[in-house]
Structure 1
Amino acid sequence: MTTLTEHSSAPGTGGTTNAAVARSLNKTYGTGDTAVRALTNVDVSFEAGTFTAIMGPSGSGKSTLMHCLAGLDTADSGRIWIGQTEITALKDAELTRLRRDSVGFVFQSFNLVPTLTAEQNITLPVALANGTVDDGWLDYITGTLGLTGRLKHRPHELSGGQQQRVAVARALLTRPHVVFGDEPTGNLDSKAGAEVLSLLRRSTRELGQSIIMVTHDPLAASYADRVVLMNDGALVGELSSPTPDTVTAALTKLGA
């Protein structure tokens, strides 16, 4: 099997410190009078082993940025690295393999297969790649996420919070360079949402996982180490050690 080519090192990494980097990223949807500039010369780095939230008003470009970083959408110009691999230089097959092996996803909808058990859902990406599950790592992450007694249950036998824990475990199983979360608690009640956010934060502190999450919720963002703020397709600021109050105040200034 062809190995991914490691292109020029991501700028500012010193070789190892960033999970994802974007440089001079531009993206426009549509043409002519209907054109919408979704990203404008975006330069941003996400340090490895940290939890970052991306926030901004509706239409600010936060979801577009995440989709481009994750290789789910293509930018019109600019460069993106996941770890030390420049994904904007990859062919389609290489990009597909990188998303499978080096990127984890946690979506608002849990995206679990209803006929499979929790354990089968967690290991599905490895099975589809004809890989071998690291049973020790599987036991560790399912234990950390409180799923040990639920692995034989199917999704309909689990609460919403438990289903999202399964999705988190699935995202962590391949030890990806980065996990992307798209409103991961949007379909959960406040208690279950807090549980999942606490687990995401623990995964950075205890498992060394890098997480980039798009959210509109100041409380959810307060679980992150850092908040990146966007407006009109551009980066407009960031917060370190955010709290619900500091995030709310920053969003109010942006008209969100």
Structure 2
Amino acid sequence: MQAADSAVGVQPAVSAVDLVKVYGSGQTAVRALDGVTIGLDAGRFTAIMGPSGSGKSTLMHCLAGLDTATSGTVSIGGTDLTKLSDRQLTVLRRERVGFVFQAFNLMPTLTAEQNILLPLELAGTTPDRAWVKSLVDVLGLADRLRHRPSELSGGQQQRVAVARALVSRPDVVFADEPTGNLDSRTGAEVLSFLRQSVRELGQTIVMVTHDPVAASYADRVVLVADGRLVSELEDPTPDTVIDAMRKLGA
């Protein structure tokens, strides 16, 4: 089944229509996405899950403009990514999209504060110091701003990455296995802040995860198998996610 689009008349934060992604050609071609249509509402936390090789990471990469679709359309805030030049796509990702990765992807020579402010520096925009302070305070980073990544724990590095993703107030934040390198307690802290940023700041978050507990922090879980959307859950719990994944043979 295809997941339902957003409510009639409401512009989704992120959407795809008949999205196909094929890697390779001829007999070696792999159809990673096979006609995906989906709408992800603004101000909600959506988790994408599925068995290994299901296409969940490919879906997120196409939705985020990190990978190009073979056919179909992808839109962020009403802007069709498939019609943008490489330069326009780079600008859109920089100004309207935030990213949180499993490997943190911080610049090792920069301090925590410099890493947080990097998207604004690249965009040539002036930081909103009150907003930056609120992120730093909520994430518990005030006494770590002068530290470089090598001087921070894994959890602190990921909190810096989350602050960096949110500092420009993007239309949407994409998180790819954001707790994959964290212990369960630290992972729960990061997920709680992502959840808080949705509820209190109106942020839109799309997260790929294999962890049912991580997925339970989301408002909605979209399940992918064999490059297609097969089901979804509203207000998930770890148990309902485990049951749904078990039905997929994961």
TM-score class, shorter: over 0.9
SS at match of 1:26: strand
What is the CA deviation profile of residues 25-54 of structure 1, one whole-angstrom value per residue up to 9, with x for unaligned ones?
A: 011111122111111110111100000000
The equivalent position to 1:240 in structure 2, one of 228, 234, 237, is 234
Aligned alpha-carbon RMSD (Å): 1.3
Pair 1:197-2:191 in alignment = yes
Pair 1:168-2:162 in alignment = yes
State the match for 1:224 in structure 2: 218
Pair 1:213-2:207 in alignment = yes
1:214 partner letter: V
State the match for 1:46 in structure 2: 40
**Mapped partners of 1:56, 1:123: distance in 2:** 34
Report how far residue 18 of structure 1 moved: 1.6
Pair 1:61-2:59 in alignment = no
State the match for 1:147 in structure 2: 141
Runs of 5+ unmatched residues, structure 2:
none
**Mapped partners of 2:249, 2:242: distance in 1:** 10
**Mapped partners of 2:12, 2:187: distance in 1:** 27
Report how far residue 80 of structure 1 moved: 0.9
**Mapped partners of 1:116, 1:60: distance in 2:** 36
**Mapped partners of 2:121, 2:10: distance in 1:** 29
SS at match of 1:33: helix
**Mapped partners of 1:107, 1:23: distance in 2:** 25
**Mapped partners of 2:90, 2:81: distance in 1:** 10
Report how far residue 15 of structure 1 moved: 6.5
State the match for 1:6 in structure 2: none
Report how far residue 203 of structure 1 moved: 0.6
TM-score computed with the length of structure 1 as normaliser? 0.93
2:245 partner letter: L
- 2:15–2:38 CA contact under 8 A, matched in 1: yes
Bigger Cα displacement from structure 2, 125-134 vs 239-248: 125-134
1:181 partner letter: A
- 1:16–1:83 CA contact under 8 A, matched in 2: no
- 1:15–1:84 CA contact under 8 A, matched in 2: no
The equivalent position to 1:78 in structure 2, one of 52, 67, 72, is 72
Report how far residue 165 of structure 1 moved: 0.5
Runs of 5+ unmatched residues, structure 1:
1-10
State the match for 1:106 in structure 2: 100
2:40 partner letter: F
1:179 partner letter: V
Aligned pairs, how many?
246
The equivalent position to 1:127 in structure 2, one of 114, 121, 126, is 121
